[in-house]
Structure 1
């Protein structure tokens, strides 16, 4: 669900109609606390979960922040955001990818006709799609839902990073027990297809229950507003602020406008085993989690 530079008029009209149908929401922002040492203050950080990320013109959304044993800082998005195929190509064991080392920019303020302001730079440092190709992975569920990539933030821009999810705070760790039907989920992001309407950045969702056939790799969910092209890579948290997963695909059947969320615990475990990045781990937010939507 990456958003390419050639987004069609039909997609634009669809999103416009969706926005016109959404009831206005009154949002109350959570309180802020002081930032942890080494991170930019949460209220002024330019690179956070939910920031837009552009790779060779394709737009996706950051999920969470990660670090390694060497102290390098990474921001995650979906591996298919660096894919060479169409947005509908979701089998990571079959689709091609841009190589590691590909430049990625962090942008804010984008719209349908403008990529916004570049606030930082990074390089593609890990892709589950690339590693699955190299390993010859063939398990259907892994190929379909292991959709995580990591962008190493340039040293000059690390001081602009805060790991807290805007509006909600957190994450508070990694969810390890899946989701049940009706469980509340929280996400943050603002695809440029929404025309810069930041009021739609915080999202409340509900799990549709984990399908046994997916072996814990995927958590289908509905959100208000639904995930759209450009939201790929967004992080989802549980009602306790635990990181549940990464937005991978938009479901068309049997549940139209549902979202498929790849399980972060499994995706990160795969990366820890196969990325070659020592000490890779999720960074908790400096701000407490508040389920305030």
Structure 2
């Protein structure tokens, strides 16, 4: 059936109105609602996985970068990095923590004698320890190994962020199937105890095999060199560059100088369900993963 001249004009008018409405939606959509932030180049970024983080004088190492659905950017470390108890306190359901909103700085070149140069600022936005207290969590494995906190990067410093793990690249995704004995793992520690000797930061290691008793919440492992105080919170990658875990504790018995890392898949799932941060997700690295030391 042929369209009459008037019908054609009406159709053209309707189409024009629809296109105008679509243009309005595009023009006035909330900025950064779900778009990936414009990351700084990996070679020049100063806030990355592995950067030193200082909280009320305590130094830890960043693990991964995260984003939310509103364009917010976060850097993770261990929840115990904001803890108020002794270094031996590992039960996040019992140990006290600094409150949400506590200031955190990102530093480079820090040592025992000097905290180095502040390259950015953030605030504690989520702590598994704080949230487990609020929820009344009692599961012993969750309490013992859920050790993740997120620091929201000040908007003025977001342009300094890149999510790639130094030296290794990645992460390429999230490891969800745990590890077997002998599986290779990779990490980047940045303890101030090393006095700025960055050659000791990249670490290569092997899993000791997951323990069924902890429900997959932790992965014991050895690295050369082992993680030391100040490395707490740092990232661990599995084969292929997937984000495996967050350095939590130094093992003394029955495996001296081993490390235990919290399972990132479980820790992040807990945060996604309980943090109140909408659209929380891991940011993938801009640099390809490579495992050679």
TM range (shorter): 0.7 to 0.9
TM-score scaled by length of structure 2: 0.87
Tell me the equivalent position of 1:180: 180
- What per-residue deviation string (whole Å, max 9, x for no partner) do you get for residues 266-291 of structure 1? 00000000000000000000000001
Q: Does 2:79 align with 1:93?
A: no
| TM-score, structure 1 as length reference | 0.87
Instruction: Look up the match of 1:190.
Output: 190
Provide Cα deviations, 1:148-171, integer angstroms capped at 9, x if missing partner: 000000000000000000111000
Number of residue equivalences: 258
Superposition map of 1:41-120 within 5 A: 41-120=41-120
Deviation at residue 112 of structure 1 after TM alignment: 1.6
Cα drift, residue 37 of structure 1: 6.6
Q: SS of the residue aligned with 2:190?
A: coil
Backbone CA RMSD of aligned residues:
0.8
- Paired residue for 1:204? 204
Q: Counterparts of 2:41 and 2:123 in 1: how far apart (Å)?
A: 23
User: Are 1:170 and 2:170 matched, yes or no?
Assistant: yes
Match of 1:125 in 2: 125
- CA apart distance, 1:239: 1.4
Deviates more, 1:235-244 or 1:187-196: 187-196
Question: Would you say the 8 A contact 2:189–2:227 is kept in 1?
Answer: no
1:240 is aligned to 240
Structure 1 CA distance, aligned partners of 2:270 and 2:65?
A: 17
**Partner Cα distance (1:275, 1:68) in 2:** 11
The 3-state SS of whatever aligns with 2:152 is strand
Larger Rg: 2
Q: Retained in 1: the 8 A contact 2:37–2:71?
A: no
Deviation digits for residues 194-228 of structure 1 (CA, Å, limit 9, x no counterpart): 11111001000100000111100000000011000
Structure-1 separation of matches of 2:240 and 2:215: 23
Q: Gaps (5+ residues) in structure 1? A: 1-35
Where do residues 142-291 of structure 1 align in structure 2 (5 Å cutoff)? 142-291=142-291
Cα distance in 2 for partners of 1:80, 1:250 equals 13
1:94-136 deviation digits (Å, cap 9, x = unpaired): 0000000000000000112111100000000000000100010
Which is bigger in relative contact order (C-alpha 8 A, separation at least 6)? 1
Which deviations, in whole Å up to 9, do the C-alpha atoms of 1:27-79 show, x marking residues without a partner?
Answer: xxxxxxxxx97000000100000000000000000000000000000000000
In the alignment, what sits opposite 1:8?
none
Report the alpha carbon displacement of residue 245 of structure 1 after superposing the two structures with TM: 0.3
How far is the alpha carbon of 1:190 from its aligned partner?
Answer: 1.6
Gaps of 5+ in 2: 1-35
3-state SS in 2 of match to 1:159: helix
Q: Distance in 2 between matches of 1:87 and 1:251?
A: 13
